[in-house]
Amino acid sequence: MLEIRWHSRAGQGAVTGAKGLADVVSTTGKHVQAFAFYGSAKRGAAMTAYNRVDDAPIMNHEKFMAPDYVLVIDPALVYVADFTAFEKPDTVYIITTHLSTEELVASQPKLEGKKVYTVDCIKISQETIGKAIPNTPMLGALMKVSGMYEMDFFKENMIRVLKKLPQKIIDANMIAIQRAYDEVK
Amino acid sequence: MAESMELRDIEVWDGNMAASQALRQVQVDVVAAYPITPSTPIVENYAGFAANAYVDGEFVMTESEHGAMSCCIGASAAGGRVATATSSQGFALMVETLYSASGMRLPIILNVVNRAIGAPLNVNGDHSDMYMGRDTGWIQLDAYNPQHAYDLNFIAFKVAEDHDVRLPAMVHQDGFMTSHTAQGVHTMTDEAGFNFVGEFKPMNDMLDLDHPVTHGVQTEEDWHFEHKARQQHALMTAVIPKLEAAFDAFEALTGRRYNLVETHQMEDAEMAVICMGTSVETAMEVVNELRAQGIKAGVVGIRVFRPWPMERLVEVLKNVKAIGTLDRSSPHGTMGMLFNEISGSLFNTDTKAVLTNYIYGLGGRDLTKAHLVGIFNDLKANMDAGKPTTPLQQYIGLRGPKLSFF
């Protein structure tokens, strides 16, 4: 079982990102689950979203999760959210920030000694999609760090997942995914 | 003619989308709805299908849930296939009309996305609304995941609309835990889905002007009791055989099996939990882990809540020595519903099982695997002692001092 927890603000696309990832993973024959915990929260409120991936059908519906990956798509949440909750010794963190990994760890001691990767998904999405929607670039970074899928396969499936959007937005998302894949450190 | 929609064999859908797609595929004549979280996306998706020519029927926006079900009643009496969706306070506002629908023998399908009922206000899932529906005279089916939410809609239409049944049916799913959780759903083609249910065949429809009928009559003392007896007779005798036939037919079509009562590892189980919704599946996973340690635990899931499958429950529980009934609704002044129903079901049998009750998950509070392990530890102690070693009703996952009664 692979488990992923997203930390986001309502409106940044974590639910869409988690469901999009589940959709892509499902095409490879694996079993998936994507859900979020936000209640009646307002736009901008801190929230979490979750993915489970397994070879067997996923029966577990508890919200509790000790994640393998923690994806933080809003830079401020590493200072205000309990983003290390129920971490495991080998939990991997991919964090959106304009800081370098060293600067980030120095500013947030909870990350010391952890497997931490950084990428500026906010800047990437602003420069490509034109809005701070950091969900799809984070998936590009996840593909690089996890080695889950080849980039061509992933992008091909994301085009299908995003098919209801205008073509130029889909194209911009593909550039954003590739940039995050290339830029995550 | 409605456009057909190409679906992949497995779509990643949440429970709401799964229900919306089922309503589209059976080609409902009238959906009348008023939105409420977390069921809103069912009718929102459906309205999108209607606007994009995937639906031939009417979509009616009403001023309230009371209005939505009233409109459904009118459309059903007129002779159409009818469905809607609601949750929580919206369900509560519908209650008066739910009794009208069942009393008038109108086969309306209501998707209930189970949610807590305020005060305090809470959009998250528990079973308060589902429990409120249990005396309304409707058939109640319970989904544990998005696949079930899809499949059970087809089964609900097929059984409810059968002329030997003619009773409305609710398809329940857990708010957020199913309704907003995306999982792989095996789909049917539009043609296969529609053909499983078939064309709607009206009975005593008001638009059959050659055979005029009256619906919603006043009977007073003279005939009320006989009407209610016939309604109960249909619910108690006609529904279960038709459900079993529909489950068989559905398995033949899709390979997916549903049962009145779902069981997991019950063949040689010494102790069991009984629950509903997503909790059934989480409990199954816990039981698999306990079995690996040699603990003979099992799970019983209620699939058909009304009519209550008493005979089947007696059968599956006959050899267990300890039973934990898990209720996701505040019992307000008594034991949980499942404790009472199971007690009543087992009272005239030879069972000596120790029966206890757990109240959990109110307002969306998480039921963790650790909670379930703790419950099975209690059941083991009860089994070994041959009597309750805990209070009969305990609260699970509650912050603050431990709360228990009796």
Res A40: pLDDT: 67
| Cα B79 to Cα A74: distance, rounded to the nearest angstrom | 53
Mean pLDDT (whole number) for B365-384: 98
Chain A residues within an 8 Å CB radius of B279: 61
Res A39: pLDDT: 65
**pLDDT 10s digits, B142-152:** 999 999 999 99
- What is the complex's ipTM, to 2 decimals? 0.93
For residues B238 and B276, membership in a common domain is answered with: no
User: Other C-beta atoms within 10 Å of A8: how many?
Assistant: 28
Question: Do B282 and A59 count as a contact with CB atoms less than 8 A apart?
Answer: yes
Mean pLDDT (whole number) for B156-175: 98
For residues B193 and B108, membership in a common domain is answered with: yes
Q: What percent of chain A clears pLDDT 90, i.e. is strictly above it?
A: 94
Phi, psi of B174 (to 5 degrees): -75, 130
| Cα B321 to Cα B208: distance, rounded to the nearest angstrom | 57
Q: CB distance from A5 to chain B under 8 Å?
A: no
pLDDT band at B66 (very low <50, low <70, confident <90, very high): very high
Burial class (CB in 10 A: 0-12, 13-18, 19+), B257: exposed
Q: CB distance from A21 to chain B under 8 Å?
A: no
Mean pLDDT (whole number) for B304-316: 98
pTM (two decimals):
0.96
Res B240: pLDDT: 98
For residues B243 and B273, membership in a common domain is answered with: no
Which bin fits B176, alpha (ψ -120 to 50), beta or left (φ > 0)?
Answer: left
pLDDT band at A38 (very low <50, low <70, confident <90, very high): confident
Please, what is the average pLDDT of chain B? 97
Res B303: pLDDT: 98
Which residue of chain A comes nearest to B279, CA vs CA?
A61
Helix, strand, coil fractions of chain A, as percent rounded to 5 = 40, 20, 40
For residues B39 and B156, membership in a common domain is answered with: yes
Q: CB distance from A58 to chain B under 8 Å?
A: yes
Res A146: pLDDT: 96
Residue B248, pLDDT > 70, answer yes
| Cα A137 to Cα A121: distance, rounded to the nearest angstrom | 6
Q: How many domains does chain B have?
A: 2
Nearest by Cα to B377 from B389, B395, B393: B389
DSSP B145: S
Nearest by Cα to B317 from B254, B274, B275, B284: B274
Cβ atoms of A107 and A86 closer than 8 Å:
no
Cβ-Cβ contacts under 8 Å between A and B: the total is 67
Which of B254, B286, B312 is the C-terminal boundary of a domain? B254
Question: Do A19 and B12 count as a contact with CB atoms less than 8 A apart?
Answer: yes
- The residue of A53, A62, A65, A162 whose CB has the most chain B CBs within 10 angstroms, and thus the best one to mutate to test that interface, is A62
| Cα B193 to Cα A149: distance, rounded to the nearest angstrom | 34
For residues B197 and B301, membership in a common domain is answered with: no
For residues B270 and B234, membership in a common domain is answered with: no
Domain CATH for B88: 3.40.50.970
**Quick one: angle between helices B239-254 and B190-197, nearest 10?**
160
For residues B228 and B276, membership in a common domain is answered with: no
Cis link prior to B391 (omega < 30° from 0)? Answer: no
Mean pLDDT (whole number) for A99-119: 97
Q: What percent of chain B clears pLDDT 90, i.e. is strictly above it?
A: 99
Q: Is B5 within a domain?
A: no
Nearest by Cα to B79 from B197, B251, B167, B202: B202
User: Which token pair is B200?
Assistant: 């709607």
For residues B230 and B321, membership in a common domain is answered with: no
Distance of CA B384 to the CA centre of its chain: 34
Q: Residue A7: beta bridge partners?
A: A48, A72
Cβ atoms of A20 and A35 closer than 8 Å:
no
Res A37: pLDDT: 81
Q: Residue B292: beta bridge partners?
A: none
Res A85: pLDDT: 97
Q: How big is chain A, counted in residues?
A: 185
Q: Residue B297: beta bridge partners?
A: B271
Which of B227, B254, B281 is the C-terminal boundary of a domain? B254
pLDDT band at B160 (very low <50, low <70, confident <90, very high): very high
For residues B128 and B43, membership in a common domain is answered with: yes
Which range of residues forms the domain containing residue B25? 10-254
Q: Which CATH superfamily is domain A2-183 in?
A: Pyruvate-ferredoxin oxidoreductase, PFOR, domain III (3.40.920.10)
Query: Which of A22, A36, A64 shows the shortest C-beta gap to B366?
Result: A64
Which of B254, B279, B308 is the C-terminal boundary of a domain? B254
Domain CATH for B271: 3.40.50.920
Q: Find all residues with CB under 8 Å of B339, minimum gap 6, and list them.
A: B325, B327, B355, B356, B357, B392, B393
- B/e letters for B335-362, b = 16+ CB within 10 Å, e = fewer, are bbbbbebbeebbeeeebebbbbbbbbbb
Given the structure tokens 């370098």, which residue do they identify? Answer: A100
Query: Which of A22, A40, A58 shows the shortest C-beta gap to B12?
Result: A22
Q: Is B3 within a domain?
A: no
User: Which token pair is B261?
Assistant: 């009562």
**pLDDT 10s digits, B177-230:** 999 999 999 999 999 999 999 999 999 999 999 999 999 889 999 999 999 999
Chain A residues within an 8 Å CB radius of B142: none
Which residue of chain A comes nearest to B177, CA vs CA?
A61
| Cα B339 to Cα B313: distance, rounded to the nearest angstrom | 13
User: Which token pair is A150?
Assistant: 């080849």
**pLDDT 10s digits, B250-265:** 999 999 999 999 999 9
Res B1: pLDDT: 83
Q: Is B266 within a domain?
A: yes
Which residue pairs from B209-216 have beta carbons closer than 8 angstroms and sit at least 24 positions apart in sequence? B215/B77, B215/B104, B216/B77, B216/B100, B216/B104
For residues B268 and B217, membership in a common domain is answered with: no
Mean pLDDT (whole number) for B317-345: 97
Mean pLDDT (whole number) for B336-365: 97
Q: CB distance from A56 to chain B under 8 Å?
A: no
**pLDDT 10s digits, A54-75:** 999 999 999 999 999 999 999 9
For residues B29 and B132, membership in a common domain is answered with: yes
For residues B285 and B226, membership in a common domain is answered with: no
